[in-house]
């Protein structure tokens, strides 16, 4: 965890399968309680999920807490795919119209 003001930041790595299909998981908070994290949608690398009142208590008001901000990393499989598997993925995702493009990401 990293604290910025009253907010807490953490990173979680999920599988490509979970990134595409959704997932449920638990994160153990600094004080030991469990925070449930769930996504039913596609989760892309770098996506952020905000959990209200799961950050740190405010220094000015102990009844107020910041956010817990979870950033997701996606672990891609390290194995090679067969031609049949590649064809299945192409059929499922149907993204043939999307072509690689270069852009200035600064």
- Confidence grade of residue 84 (pLDDT, cut at 50, 70, 90): very high
- 7-15 and 68-75 strand pairing: parallel
Question: Percent of the chain, pLDDT > 70?
Answer: 98
> Residue 101: its pLDDT value, please?
83
> Residue 102: its pLDDT value, please?
86
Q: Which helix (H) or strand (E) holds 9?
A: strand 7-15
Round to whole Å and give the CA distance between 51 and 32: 16
Q: Yes or no: say if 70 and 11 are a contact pair by the CB < 8 Å rule.
A: yes
Give pLDDT tens digits for 8-24.
Answer: 999 999 999 999 999 99
Q: Which domains does the chain have, with CATH numbers?
A: 2-93 (2.60.260.20)
Say if residue 106's pLDDT is above 70.
no
Q: Where does residue 93 fall: left (phi above 0), alpha (psi -120 to 50 degrees), or beta otherwise? A: alpha
- Confidence grade of residue 53 (pLDDT, cut at 50, 70, 90): very high
Round to whole Å and give the CA distance between 9 and 7: 7
> Residue 41: its pLDDT value, please?
93
């Amino acid at each position: 965890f990293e604290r910025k003001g009253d907010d807490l930041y953490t990173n979680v790595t999920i599988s490509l399968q979970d990134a595409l299909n959704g997932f449920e998981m638990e994160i153990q908070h600094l004080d030991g309680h469990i925070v449930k994290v769930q996504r039913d949608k596609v989760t892309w690398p770098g996506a952020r999920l905000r959990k209200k009142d799961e950050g740190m208590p405010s220094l000015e008001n102990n009844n107020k807490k910041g956010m817990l901000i979870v950033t997701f990393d996606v672990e891609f499989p390290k194995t090679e795919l067969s031609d049949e598997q590649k064809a299945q993925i192409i059929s499922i995702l149907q993204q043939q119209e999307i072509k690689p493009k270069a852009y200035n990401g600064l």
